[in-house]
Structure 1
Amino acid sequence: MEKKRNKRYIQALLIGIVIAVIGTFIQLPYYVTKPGMAQELDPIINVENGYEEKGEFMLTTIRMGQANIFSFAWAKINKYHKILPINHVRREDESDEEYNNRQLYYMEDSQESAITVAYSYANKPVTVKNHGIYVMKILKGMPAEDSLKPGDRIYAVDGKEVTHQDEFISYVSNKKENDVIKLSIDRNGKEETVTIPIVPFPDQPEKVGIGIELITDQEVITEPKLSIDTEKIGGPSAGLMFSLEIYNQLIEKDLTNGMRIAGTGTIDNDGNVGPIGGIGQKIVAADKSDVDIFFAPNENGAPDSDYREALKTAKDIDSEMKIVPVDTFEDALNYLLELK
């Protein structure tokens, strides 16, 4: 009798393990997003000989991963966990590698705009220099698929230096079908040369190319010098908070007034703040980190703006954070200058 019970116990245990393995490793065609964290920016942004701050500027993040059975079920019963169809996150035929590269580019582009805005407002020298072009995406069935990878940096074509994507596009568009071009590339710090034929695009036979989507690799040169280490954080939504942290290190007055200040929103070179996704989850993340003030994109007062969603979420979780609407970097700056 005892042996039978032990046998049934072992069988049940094995079945449970099999179910757990299946539930964990079988991925569904969805992504699950949930509140991440509020991360202090002072440790990852450093202006040479910059001023210290008593408080903190912070970026907010969302955690995201492809759903399995368990995470999908858990998201169904958690209010601030969201389920997104995979085509709402990744582009059609976009690989994980291409998606991650795209998000890291968005972060880099956001940093460049934030630096430009902060140094301009602080009346400090800032210039932009081009360093070639990056491969963002490769079209399936096109010649580049055999020779290039997302993240490759192209710095010359047929021996001629290229510093901007427009130069490359203009050069290739003047080629004919079955012409061949030689690309000089940098892949993970190693220089290589690849030869690729020119063919018509399947959906646009009147156009020819090699089948890649490009972006320009830019460097923002500043005085004083600046370093930013965001590791693997991707996306453009930290632009506003980057600009505030950089500006605060450039000026003598401390804008934080000893408080913990978070927020979200893209930023362009003119200082305009744009909306992002998942602001409700970012409000939850900021509240858990004892944030005092949260800047939210106002979208010029639109009734469905990120600011309105942030207010709604803060009320729902009974947060004491002050939610502040902003349309520009200057809006946030003026608000902080008036704090006591």
Structure 2
Amino acid sequence: MIPAVPGVVTGDEIAATAASIAAVQLPDGGVPWPEGHVDAWNHVECLMAMTAAGLREASARGWEWLRRHQRADGSWPMKVLNGEPLEDRGESNHAAYVAVGVWHDLLVTGDEAFAREMWPTVGRALDFVTGLQTRRGEIVWEASPGSYALLTGCSSVYQGLRCGVRLAERLGDPRPDWELAADRLGHVLREHPEAFADKSRFSMDWYYPVLGGALRGDRALRRLDDDWDRFAVAGLGIRCVSDQPWVTGAESCELVLTLDAVGDDDRALKVFTEMQHLRHPGGGYWTGWQFVNERHFPNERSAYTAAAVILAADALSRTTPANGVFRDAGGFAEDRASDDCGCQRAASPA
């Protein structure tokens, strides 16, 4: 069954949205940005969306693209164009998201044989990620001297590690080192904002610690409430950045997933309904809307925006067995402060 949200989008409309993603998939299986390059994170999100909508053959070609382009260290080039690296650096959050995608596929399809086929790819990817963890616990965004940690990226990495742990347990190959890395990363995400570069003008830094699962409960709701008026635009969706009159479909739908994850069902449905002004009659979605100039900006329809819509529709409608892949990311085991983060020393008697 294809996800549908009554009164907002029908199953046929979501099927058309999935078809808009498949329509731009390259012959080699990559799902590109409108500019033409492929990155692993957005590519995986598109595969998840096509899987949720039943386009298994297209997603299978996409997984083959990932296997083919993974490097020996477990990473992917930041950008791939025409089958060749356009930017050679590898990002930690790109690598970690592959675990989310494979876990999502297993939940939707039940195909354990495919999960086992992808397991070496996931293993190399998460080993690359954990190799970038600092003594304090954050994970730097790329493997290069002087690299730093990003709050949004680490929040996504946190979800990737949690999904990797669950996949490892399901396949009978437990990875306690990944679980420990996730526990330490979760602590830093919750208690050490100073560990991350200041990107607070971006809405993703606002909601991603909740979306990725590091924050839940009252603390998560307070975080969302505190900056709601800064990023939410009534009737239109969510700003990409706080200082520009520009709402974007992907960020709006990620916020829908975030609100769904903490049980804020009314606001989740409201934001999802409001962002539908970005829908194109052909089934795709415009990337964004500049509401002062009243123009689509950029003048493009992106596959990753369409993918976010499908995943949000699935979460709201509880349609596929993977509808809770973001909701369930908050089931963390322990909060592990490291000796280097300062918390334990600060808690000691003077």
Name the TM-score, length of structure 1 as normaliser. Answer: 0.26
Structure 1 or 2: larger strand share? 1
Structure 1 or 2: larger helix share? 2
Rg (Cα) greater in structure: 1
